[in-house]
Amino acid sequence: MEPILDIAIDLPEKGSRELLRSLHRQLRAAIIDGRLQPGLRLPPTRALAEGLGISRNTVIAAYDMLLSEGYVEGRRGAGTYVADVRPRLERPRAPLRADPIADRRLGPTWRGWRPLAETCSGETYRYDFVAGMPDGQFPFDIWQRLSTRAVRKVAKSQVRAHDPAGEPLLREAIASHASFVRAVACRPEDIVVTAGTIQAIDLIARILVTPGETEVAVEDPGYGPTRRSFLGAGAKVLSIPVDEEGLVVDRLPPSARVICVTPSHQLPLGVAMSARRRAALLHFAESFGAVIVEDDYDSEFRHDHMPLDALQTLDRSGSVFYVGTFSKSMFPALRMGFVVVPEWARYALTLAKQMNDRHNPLISQLALADFITEGHLARHVRKMRRIYSARHEALRAALDEHLGERLRAFRAHAGVHLAAELTVPCDEQALVAKAAASRIRIEDIARYASRDVVQKGLVFGFGMIEAEDIEPAVEELASMVT
């Protein structure tokens, strides 16, 4: 029989004088410690008595005692309900002796870390230049239809196997998409589907890092979660500067075993790694047995020319892990990405994925496979490429017009953000705060850096601002740069 009440009640044998007292005590304890939540309807006395194998009178008496103590309340014609006794039970807590995030029971690497700030806050802005967020013009009606179709497939058991590397239909679709959009040569079996870029990098860190030994080079300024993932895995993380040609390869020490880069559209400077630097980086990796993690997060949105080849396309030594995401090309809540994995690491990365969360949600995988193979993704990317290119041009023109003598925009051939270096003395953090007070959201380059010495400037995302709003926003911002 199903239990009439989902808590364990251990009663003495029938006839014991402690029967009523024990039932009352156990019900009261369950209410106090929250196992029986406020507002929960208690079982009818007859049903509970039958379930416990005791007399109904005993249950009635226990309920009456709880009622008189205020732990339950009776509602005429509706039964007996658990009362909200939290206000009279709660006591002021003793102050913590130390900051919880510094507790020594945490591993040393994790002490002092706070959760990453979310890109989207609940605050609304008149002009929003936040980086990393795409426009909301996504065909959700098509996605809903494909998701419904995927539900029917699962319900009819047409899909049974759950491959931790990803559903075969999706991996085949991704291989075709990556080849068409970025000339990345890969087969479906080379792909591991992940829950976005952060999980992809975290899984790579798990399989490549020997704690306390492995040296990992990251761009500085760069993508914060990449640094955190490798630090969390126990790596020795090295900060490598970035200039207008991308990562400064000459600053890499021979001991670096992993190099993390965003070569197509550097985050946050937006520059593309030059062909000369790409060749030098691949030569370094082959010469010293290093691995390159290529984060190609939004390069499909090109503005003015054909892109340089991905590092994975140029790689001849199996050194490159190519990381892609659909958060920028589709919508962030999808949480779907992928890794094109060198053959020697395929088994290990698949196993790490399986141990982490078994596999991505099946329905989303099937819907995404259809979204790609039916051409919806390619059409959406073409549409958004035109929109983003118009915003990119409007932003460059507005910066030249209103801030030309105070800001110098970096060259960016792709992506959904543009960075600009301050050429006059200015406290950029104070400027960001002043803009926020006027409900203009902007970011400074320094927030992406771990070093004290870094380019002083601003990052302008244009995924969440309309083209016609860009010039008035920049003009107002220019009045704050003094």
> pLDDT, tens digit, for every residue of 270-300?
999 999 999 999 999 999 999 999 999 988 8
Q: Which helix (H) or strand (E) holds 387?
A: helix 376-403
- pLDDT at 1 > cutoff 50: no
Cis-peptide, bond into residue 188, ω within 30° of zero = no
d(CA 474, CA 149): 45
- pLDDT at 405 > cutoff 60: yes
Residue (of 294, 239, 233) closest to 265 by Cα position: 294
For position 155, what pLDDT does the model report? 86
If you write DSSP's letter for every residue of 80-94 in order, what string do you get?
EEE---HHHH--PPP
- pLDDT at 118 > cutoff 70: no
pLDDT tens per residue across span 304-360:
766 678 999 999 999 999 999 999 999 999 999 999 999 999 999 999 999 999 899
For position 76, what pLDDT does the model report? 83
* Percent of the chain at pLDDT exceeding 70: 93
Domain ranges of the chain: 19-89, 127-132+379-478, 140-374
Q: Look at domain 140-374 and name its CATH class.
A: alpha beta
* Percent of the chain at pLDDT exceeding 90: 73
Cα separations in angstroms, 345 against 339, 434, 473: 11, 48, 47
User: Looking at the domain 19-89, which fold is it?
Assistant: Arc Repressor Mutant, subunit A (1.10.10)
Q: What is the average pLDDT across 120-124?
A: 62
Higher pLDDT, 389 or 115: 389
Token duo for residue 239:
């900060």
Task: Report which DSSP code applies to 260.
Answer: E
For position 105, what pLDDT does the model report? 83
CA torsion sign for 125, 126, 132, 135 is: positive
CATH (one of 3.30.565.10, 3.90.1150.10, 3.40.50.720, 3.40.630.90) for 127-132+379-478: 3.90.1150.10
Higher pLDDT, 247 or 14: 247
Higher pLDDT, 112 or 209: 209
Within 8 A by CB and 6+ apart from 381, the residues are 181, 300, 301, 329
Residue (of 78, 156, 136) closest to 331 by Cα position: 136
pLDDT tens per residue across span 134-154:
998 999 999 999 999 999 988
Within 8 A by CB and 6+ apart from 479, the residues are none
d(CA 363, CA 375): 19
Q: What is the average pLDDT across 453-477?
A: 93
pLDDT tens per residue across span 169-220:
999 999 999 988 888 889 999 999 999 999 999 999 999 999 999 999 999 9
**Span between the terminal Cα atoms of the chain, in Å:** 76
For position 104, what pLDDT does the model report? 78
For residues 107 and 306, the answer to whether their CB atoms sit within 8 Å is no
Least confident stretch, 39-48, 125-134, 372-381, 451-460: 451-460
Residue with tokens 């994925």: 353
C-beta neighbour count of 323 within 10 angstroms: 27
Residue (of 132, 137, 131) closest to 383 by Cα position: 137
If you write DSSP's letter for every residue of 109-168 in order, what string do you get?
GGTT--PPPPS--S---SEE--TT---S---HHHHHHHHHHHHHHHHTT------TT--H
Phi, psi of 30 (to 5 degrees): -65, -35
For residues 204 and 337, the answer to whether their CB atoms sit within 8 Å is no
C-beta neighbour count of 103 within 10 angstroms: 12
